[in-house]
Amino acid sequence: MAGDDPQADKTKPVMLILVGAPGSGKTTFCNDVMSADRRPWVRICQDTIANGKAGTKQQCLKSAAEALKDDKSVFIDRCNLEQEQRADFVKLGRTQADVHAMVLNLPARLCISRSVKRTGHEGNLQGGKAAAVVNRMMQKKELPKLSEGFCRITFCLNEKDVKEAVDAYIALGPSDSLPSGIFGQKSEDAKVQLGIMKFLKKVEIPKNVPPNENSQVSAAKRESKGDVSCSMELEKGCNKNGTAEDEFCGKSVVGDCSRDDFHTLAFPSISTSDFQFNHEKASDIITEVVADFLNKVDNVRLILVDLSHKSRILSLVRAKAAKKHIDSNKFLTHVGDITRLHTEGGLHCNVIANAANWRLKPGGGGVNAAIFKAAGEALEIATKQHAETLSPGNSVVIPLPSNSPLHQREGVTHVIHVLGPNMNPQRPNCLNNDYVQGGKVLRDAYTSLFENFASISRSKLNQKIQKESNRKSSTGYSDNRCDLAKDTTCDHTSENVQKAKREISHEYEKNKKCKGLPSGFDSKDELMEHDCVGSSIRSKSSSFSAKHDDNRNESSVPTSMLEEKVHTHQKISEESKRSWGSWAQALHQIAMHPEKHKDVILEMSDEFVVLNDLYPKARKHLLVLSRASGLDTLADARREHLPLLKAMHSAGLKLAEKLYTDDAFMMFRLGYHSVPSLQQLHLHVISQDFDSPHLKNKKHWNSFTTAFFRDSADVIEEIEKSGRATLNDDEKLLLMELRCHRCKSAHPNIPRLKSHIANCKTSFPSSLIQNGRLVFASMKAAA
DNA sequence: GTTCTAGAAC
DNA sequence: GTTCTAGAAC
């Protein structure tokens, strides 16, 4: 079995892929190492592979595979300057070998002069032609990265470096291995190497290699027995302990994290440091919550980070994660500085968690101080914009502005502040050894953290999906649509449209006959056409009628937004399709005759149109209006409408992204009113600032902030499961007391509420964070 | 959906 | 006296 046979460990071969222009000395390098004859090496050279003549890449791959099968180490002696040229070799090698790169990044001048001088070169690249070829190749050069699947990369910039590298590989006996990481880069890259060396500090200088002043290329031998204190992912990258981990070689976190479709959260252990939470108990909770989360969510990776090799929490978690068979591709531990995961650890973690304090202030030492320091003022400002305090068991996402050093240097796009329970009597709110409560709070903290992370990840994935769907559907769009994806000024455009609409509206408001003007209802003709005087009668009761099944299970009604469960006794309605007042048909008219409303339509497809809400209840408030005939409200939606609902949802997400403005970390919700006032199914895409003069009364507020508002994601899920959406259509919902949608505080009237929400920075309730209900619109800044 | 306004609340 | 709500009309 994997890892059981120490002999097998000893013979694990190396695939060394040389990277360098003609004349850089690749062949010489191979010959020098092979001359020492300390392990069986085979040199695969494309220039000679076909019976001494130039062959194909396939032939090289075949020969390499055969050599590896015989447990021989191989040199891939071809230029390999571009990633694509190396990829197949890496793929082949990493299943059975440690894949290294040797970059002979010598000055082009030197390579050219060697090429020009040489005679009888295998590749027949001689004379004056060489200069042009070398120059061209150098231009296309892509230096190898760990993320390609290498577990070790050595850069040689001059002949001295080459000599040292040769010595390192000469010293590599059959049972030796070289440490993982990047070696030999100068200037800023030196840090990379340092970091790697730091967390691989158990390396030893191998026998037969004299100590070298350039430790970067000094060969080192890793302890062959499980070096638990080493960073797991890199350790695994080249571990010799068996095939299960061999699988992992070259497929390190580094590689996967850098892929667009993979999102990685690095997080410190919460509460186990200064807050003195019992490590044994904490490790149980971490593994439990992690396992649960990873069962639910794909395309994400979690990395628990601690500074010390001696970290007890890391070893406990590692052991428990292994016991629980948590996928080691998705959950890893790492020893290192969470603020230098990329530069020192070679890891790409787009999201990091911070063990914050309740005031969300910098300082205090530990991870919190380090992250605030590394992220600079940008994080402080962004944090203040988002939340002022945090309660234990909660977390809050802060999109990290692109001017933050942590963003620029480490590629971190979001910091999630988390607050766990405090067990330290020296600190505020100590739980006095109450591990029942403490355990709950810690579990909540991790759950909140991971859910927040997932919502970021979802947004990113949605972007991708939308890009695809845009490509597919763009041909179906009308000519007059405003392509938000292309036009960054479109925001203004749509506002202009709206402004124009308001002006039109204003004109008609002068006409006492038509006081109200529904959203998007614009031309005079249209108004007249639809009988402003009112041909149909709408009673109060009919405005709340809905043709949905009243017998649904009330227990399934989500009440997360409510302080108390509201019953539906006051529901009026039911039996027949409601009648719509003339003013209530405006959206319907637009949907049925979009060609007559080109001036308000921002975007159009066969399935829906997008327009600004004429009376926006927030800074950004748009409608994605279904064009399906007969689909008046959410109550009418059935399984057959799922493709439409999903397309509308996707359009809504796209809008949320495009509507991002620099001065606000805008968050959106996408959803439907349980009982809409206007005919024709329409999805609200509304920013959560609710900063608008049009938000005037209790009904406005409650229709967007109570369970009356049905999140699109939930609606889709419910229809998928049960064939219809749950409607929370109790009138009481709209008459409820006015409560802040963030901190849930109650306010006596709308003006007071509005002045409160203008300043409330409390993080959004976790119920909104779940299931992607809250959409982050600042991804553009983060990208 | 909005507007208007009487009268309640402060 | 002023602010705010809620019902009615559209």
Distance (Å) of CA A771 to CA A115, A219, A410, A533, A630: 61, 50, 28, 44, 29
- What integer pLDDT is reported at residue A674 of this predicted model? 95
Residue nearest to nucleotide B4 (CA to C1'): A515
Least confident range of A6-10, A43-47, A574-578 = A6-10
CA of A48 to C1' of B8 (A): 97
Confidence class for position A101, pLDDT limits 50, 70, 90: very high
A488 CB contacts (<8 Å, ≥6 apart)? none
Query: Which residue type does A401 have?
Result: P
Half-sphere exposure of A107 (CA within 13 A, CB side): 5
CB proximity A737–strand C (7 Å threshold): no
CB proximity A534–strand C (7 Å threshold): yes
CB proximity A664–strand C (7 Å threshold): no
Asked if pLDDT for residue A384 goes beyond 60, the answer is yes
CA of A526 to C1' of C8 (A): 25
| One-character DSSP codes across A610-646 | EEE-SS-SSSSEEEEEE--TT--SGGG--GGGHHHHH
Nucleotide nearest to A543 (CA to C1'): B1
Confidence class for position A500, pLDDT limits 50, 70, 90: very low
Nucleotide nearest to A751 (CA to C1'): C4
Report which of A285, A391, A13, A320 is spatially closest to residue A176, judged by C-alpha positions: A13
Question: What mean pLDDT comes out for the span A252-279?
Answer: 72
A466 CB contacts (<8 Å, ≥6 apart)? A650, A653, A654
Interatomic CA distance for residues A450 and A293, integer angstroms = 7
Kind and range of the H or E run holding A14: strand A14-19
Chain A residues 582 to 601 with C-beta below 7 Å from nucleic strand C: 583
Q: In the sheet where A263-268 sits, what is the strand order?
A: A331-335, A300-306, A263-268, A351-355, A414-419, A394-399
CB proximity A125–strand C (7 Å threshold): no
Q: Are A111 and A22 in contact (CB under 8 A)?
A: yes
A554 CB contacts (<8 Å, ≥6 apart)? A567, A568
A721 CB contacts (<8 Å, ≥6 apart)? none
Residue nearest to nucleotide C5 (CA to C1'): A697
A112-143: burial string, b at 16+ Cβ within 10 Å, e else: bebbbebeebbbebeeeebbebbeebbeebee
Nucleotide nearest to A616 (CA to C1'): B1
Query: Which residue type does A328 have?
Result: S
Interatomic CA distance for residues A711 and A701, integer angstroms = 15
Nucleotide nearest to A582 (CA to C1'): C10
CA of A542 to C1' of B7 (A): 27
Interatomic CA distance for residues A706 and A229, integer angstroms = 50
CA of A427 to C1' of B6 (A): 57
- What integer pLDDT is reported at residue A462 of this predicted model? 54
- What integer pLDDT is reported at residue A628 of this predicted model? 96
- What integer pLDDT is reported at residue A740 of this predicted model? 95
pLDDT tens string A311-341: 899 999 999 999 999 988 889 999 999 999 9
CA of A5 to C1' of C8 (A): 87
**Is the dihedral angle over the CA atoms A304, A309, A312, A315 positive or is it negative?**
positive
Chain A residues 739 to 768 with C-beta below 7 Å from nucleic strand C: 748-752
Return positions of chain B under 7 A from a protein CB: 1-4, 10
Phi, psi dihedrals of residue A773, rounded to the nearest 5°: -70, -40
Q: Where is mean pLDDT largest: A85-94, A101-110, A472-481, A626-635?
A: A626-635
Domain ranges of chain A: 6-246, 254-461, 487-537+579-782
Confidence class for position A108, pLDDT limits 50, 70, 90: confident
> What radius of gyration do chain A's Cα atoms show?
31
- Determine which one of A682, A700, A741, A756 is catalytic: A682
Kind and range of the H or E run holding A59: helix A57-69
Query: What does the block give as tokens for A474?
Result: 């763009």
A386 CB contacts (<8 Å, ≥6 apart)? A396, A397, A398, A665, A761, A763
CB proximity A570–strand C (7 Å threshold): no
Asked if pLDDT for residue A508 goes beyond 60, the answer is no
The residue that leads in pLDDT, A256 or A603, is A603
pLDDT tens string A15-62: 999 998 888 889 899 889 998 888 889 998 888 887 777 777 888 888
Confidence class for position A555, pLDDT limits 50, 70, 90: very low
If phi > 0 it is left, if psi is from -120 to 50 it is alpha, else beta; for residue A52 that is left
Question: What mean pLDDT comes out for the span A65-77?
Answer: 89
CB proximity A515–strand C (7 Å threshold): yes
CA of A693 to C1' of C9 (A): 22
Tell me the H-state helices in A613-765.
Answer: 642-658, 698-705, 712-722, 731-735, 750-757
CB proximity A3–strand C (7 Å threshold): no
Half-sphere exposure of A573 (CA within 13 A, CB side): 24
- What integer pLDDT is reported at residue A699 of this predicted model? 93
- What integer pLDDT is reported at residue A138 of this predicted model? 67
CA of A616 to C1' of B10 (A): 30
Nucleotide nearest to A532 (CA to C1'): C10
CA of A201 to C1' of B10 (A): 72
Confidence class for position A474, pLDDT limits 50, 70, 90: very low
Residue nearest to nucleotide B1 (CA to C1'): A518
Interatomic CA distance for residues A455 and A656, integer angstroms = 14
Judging by DSSP bridges, how do beta strands A263-268 and A181-183 pair with one another?
unpaired
CA of A394 to C1' of C6 (A): 38
Confidence class for position A121, pLDDT limits 50, 70, 90: low
Distance (Å) of CA A428 to CA A289, A359, A743: 26, 12, 21
Q: Does domain A487-537+579-782 have CATH number 3.30.1490.20?
A: no
Nucleotide nearest to A697 (CA to C1'): C5
Interatomic CA distance for residues A734 and A738, integer angstroms = 10
Q: Which residues touch strand B (CB under 7 A)?
A: A 509, 515-519, 581, 583-584, 614-615, 617, 673, 676-678, 694, 696, 700, 703, 748
Average predicted confidence (pLDDT) for chain A: 74
Residue nearest to nucleotide C7 (CA to C1'): A540
Interatomic CA distance for residues A129 and A705, integer angstroms = 72
Asked if pLDDT for residue A550 goes beyond 90, the answer is no
Query: What does the block give as tokens for A739?
Result: 């409560």
Place of tokens 């497809």: A605
What is the distance of C-alpha A649 from the center of its chain? 19
Strand-pairing partners, residue A154, are: A102, A183
Kind and range of the H or E run holding A243: helix A243-246
Nucleotide nearest to A735 (CA to C1'): C6
CB proximity A533–strand C (7 Å threshold): yes
A422 CB contacts (<8 Å, ≥6 apart)? A271, A275, A276, A392, A428, A429, A430, A431
- What integer pLDDT is reported at residue A140 of this predicted model? 67
pLDDT tens string A158-184: 888 899 899 988 888 888 888 888 888
Least confident range of A201-205, A442-446, A766-770 = A201-205
Residue A17, class by beta-carbon neighbours within 10 Å (0-12 exposed, 13-18 middle, 19+ buried)? buried
pLDDT tens string A645-703: 999 999 999 998 887 654 457 899 999 999 999 999 999 999 999 999 999 999 999 99
CB proximity A697–strand C (7 Å threshold): yes
A588 catalytic? Reply is no
pLDDT tens string A351-370: 999 999 988 999 888 999 99
Residue nearest to nucleotide C4 (CA to C1'): A749
Confidence class for position A136, pLDDT limits 50, 70, 90: low
Confidence class for position A572, pLDDT limits 50, 70, 90: very low
CA of A691 to C1' of B3 (A): 21
Nucleotide nearest to A677 (CA to C1'): B1
CA of A750 to C1' of C4 (A): 8
Instruction: Note whether A6-246 and A487-537+579-782 share their fold.
Output: no
CB proximity A513–strand C (7 Å threshold): yes
Percent of chain A residues topping a pLDDT of 70:
68
For residue A83, the tally of other CB atoms under 10 A from its CB is 15
CA of A514 to C1' of C4 (A): 25
CA of A527 to C1' of B6 (A): 30
Q: Are A319 and A304 in contact (CB under 8 A)?
A: no
| Correct CATH for A6-246 of 3.90.1150.10, 3.30.230.20, 3.40.50.300, 3.40.50.10860 | 3.40.50.300
Q: Tell me, what DSSP letter sits at residue A476?
A: G
Nucleotide nearest to A534 (CA to C1'): C10
Query: What does the block give as tokens for A203?
Result: 């390396």
Kind and range of the H or E run holding A419: strand A414-419
Q: Are A300 and A387 in contact (CB under 8 A)?
A: no
Nucleotide nearest to A516 (CA to C1'): B2
Q: Tell me, what DSSP letter sits at residue A53?
A: B
The total number of residues written for chain A in this structure? 783
Interatomic CA distance for residues A590 and A626, integer angstroms = 10
Residue nearest to nucleotide C9 (CA to C1'): A515
pLDDT tens string A713-729: 999 999 999 999 999 99
Return positions of chain C under 7 A from a protein CB: 3-6, 8-10
| Correct CATH for A254-461 of 1.20.1090, 3.40.220, 3.30.310, 3.40.1720 | 3.40.220
Interatomic CA distance for residues A81 and A139, integer angstroms = 10
